[in-house]
Amino acid sequence: MANILQVAYYRGPLVTRARMLESRGHHVTSVLGNDEAFRLDANIPVVALQFHSAESFPEADGGTVSDDPEVWLAAVANTLKKSG
């Protein structure tokens, strides 16, 4: 499966989402906040987890609301498929 970089802003969701992704067979690297993420040299597809559907992240490769884990896990899988 894929190597995934997760950027979160709160430790609770970071741990929960990492476990969910790992349960799908992914290797997950998690960081807290944008500053830590920008220090990494990663050229990877980006899936934005939106707080509400009105948010827009045009630079992201995919996006979905974050309140339903099955929906955002599917968005991650779809983005990974597209990126080859």
Q: How many domains does the chain have?
A: 1
* 57 neighbors 73 (Cβ within 8 angstroms): no
Q: Which residues contact 84 (CB under 8 A, 6 or more apart)?
A: none
CA 20 to chain centre: 11
Each residue's pLDDT tens digit, 2-52: 889 999 999 999 999 999 999 999 999 999 998 998 888 878 888 998 888
| Single pTM value for the model | 0.83
Domain ranges, residue 12: 3-83
3 state SS of 49: strand
